[in-house]
Amino acid sequence: MNDRRGGPRPARPRRVCVLSVHTSPLEQPGTGDAGGMNVYIVQTAQRMARRGVEVEILTRATSSDLPPVVEMAPGVTVRHLAAGPYEGLGKNDLPAQLCAFAAGVMRAEARHEPGWYDTIHSHYWLSGQVGWLARDRWGVPLVHSAHTLAKVKNAALADGDPPEPMVRVIGEDQVVAEADRLITNTDIESRQLVELYGADPLRTVTIPPGVDLDRFTPGSAAIARSRLGIPADAVVLAFVGRIQPLKAPDVLLRAAAELLRRDPGLRSRLVVLVAGGPSGSGLAEPRALQELGTALDLDDVLRFLPPQGGNDLVHVYRAADLVAVPSHNESFGLVAMEAQACATPVVAAAVGGLPVAVSDGGSGLLVDGHDPARWADALAAVALDRIRRERFSAGAVAHARRFSWDRTTDALLATYAEAGDEFTRRAAAALAGISGVRER
C-alpha cells in the first residue's frame, strides 16, 4: 500500500512508549490533575493494543501503595516511576523532578533488548522534555501532544488565576522545536503552535480526539434522575469537570442566580449539578465554589457530586437538560463530546476547540465571553424551551458520531509510521554525509 507521497506506506510501529509525567492514566478524571488527557491516553492505548501494538505508559509514582507495574488492559502496561516525593507535588513543582523521572525512563527501557520501542508519544510539556532526551538516546521519533499551551492560557486567564510560569513557556518552546511530530486537537490549536511557538506546519498534524460511543449513549432521563435522587420534572443544569478557575464553574452558578432573579418561580424546579473535585489553583480554596453558592443564595438548588466514573458519569449526562462548559480555555472539550453522545445539549464558551466540539445552533449554543446575563440567556434558551432542546438533543447525537476513538487511534498510528519513516531516512542521510566527509 502507498502513503500520501505515493511511495510504500510506512510500517506501523510494534511498540510505543507513552510518557505521562504528571498524571497517571489510572487516576479518576475530574479531580487533581486528572482530566481529558487521562481519557485520551487510556482510550488510544487500549485501541492500539487491539490493533497489535504494544503500549507501555511511563508515569510518576504518586503513592507508595502503587505497584511498580500494572496491566491496564491486554497489551497495555503502566509503569510507576519514582521521581521525588510521592505526594504533595503540584505540576509547578515537577520540573525539578524531571531529571529523576528521566533516569527512571532510561532504566525502564534498559530492561528490554536494544531497540525495543519504535516511537515515543509524550503528553504535556513535562513529558515532552523527557521524551526529547529519550528520543536522542534511543534513536526513535518523538511525537508530542501539548493538550494545553501556556501562551494561550495566559492570554485568557480567569480572575485570580495565576499565569503559567516562564519555565513552562520556555519548556514548550524547546519541545515544539525538537519533536518530530506535533499532534493537535483542532486546526485552531495548530495555528496557535505555528503563530505563537514557531512550529513547523509540516510537522504539525491535527487529529481530533474521540468519544467512547459504546459507553456514552442516549438513555432514559427519568431513570438517570431517579438514580441521582432528582425529581423527574426538574430543570437540571450540569457542570462536569475539575473545579478550578480555568474551568469556570462559577459562571454557571452566577448565571443560575440570574435565572432565579428573573423568574423566582423557577426555584422549586431548578437543580444545578456539579460533578467534580478541586484541582490546580482551585486547591488553594477548595470550598470556594460552595461558598459562592451560599453567597448567591443557591444552597437549595445546588448539588455537588464527587468525580464520576464509568456508568455513573453517563447517568449525570442523561439526567441533565444541558451541560455547561464555561471554560476560559479548552484545547477540545471531551466533556462536551461525551454529553452530546448521551443526547444532552451543551452550552459552551466560544473558546479554543469548543467551536469544533459543539455545533453552534445544531447540538447546543456557544457563548461569547463569561457575562452571567449572557449565559443566563443561553441557558434559558435551551433548558426552558422543550422544542429547541429536543432538536438540539438529536443534533448532539449526530454531531458526536462524527468523532470516535477508533478514528483518532488510526490517525495516530499513521502519524507514528510517517514520523518513523522520516526519522529513519533523515538518520540515513546524516550517516551518509558523515561517511562522505570521512572519505574525502
Is 195 annotated as belonging to a binding site? no
CA separation for the pair 238, 323 (Å, rounded): 5
Is 117 annotated as belonging to a binding site? no
Return the CATH class of domain 15-210+406-428: alpha beta
Is 35 annotated as belonging to a binding site? yes
Query: What is the predicted pLDDT for the residue at 4?
Result: 41
CA separation for the pair 137, 321 (Å, rounded): 52
The domain covering 221-401 belongs, at the CATH homologous superfamily level, to Glycogen Phosphorylase B; (3.40.50.2000)
Query: What is the predicted pLDDT for the residue at 400?
Result: 97
Is 36 annotated as belonging to a binding site? yes
Whether 143 contacts 179, CB under 8 Å:
yes
Residue partners of 185: CB distance under 8 A and separation at least 6: 147, 206, 207, 208, 209, 331, 332, 353, 356
CA separation for the pair 180, 160 (Å, rounded): 36
Is 31 annotated as belonging to a binding site? no
Is 68 annotated as belonging to a binding site? no
Is 285 annotated as belonging to a binding site? no
Is 37 annotated as belonging to a binding site? yes
pTM of the model: 0.90
CA separation for the pair 258, 306 (Å, rounded): 26
Nearest to 243 by CA among 282, 190, 292, 195: 282
Is 29 annotated as belonging to a binding site? yes
Per-block mean pLDDT, blocks of 10 residues, the chain (440 long): 50 93 81 79 97 96 88 96 84 90 94 93 97 96 96 87 93 97 96 97 97 96 97 97 92 98 97 86 69 97 91 96 96 95 98 96 97 98 97 98 96 97 86 59
Query: What is the predicted pLDDT for the residue at 9?
Result: 62
Query: What is the predicted pLDDT for the residue at 187?
Result: 95
Is 168 annotated as belonging to a binding site? yes
The ranges assigned to domains in the chain are 15-210+406-428, 221-401
Query: What is the predicted pLDDT for the residue at 281?
Result: 52
Query: What is the predicted pLDDT for the residue at 271?
Result: 98
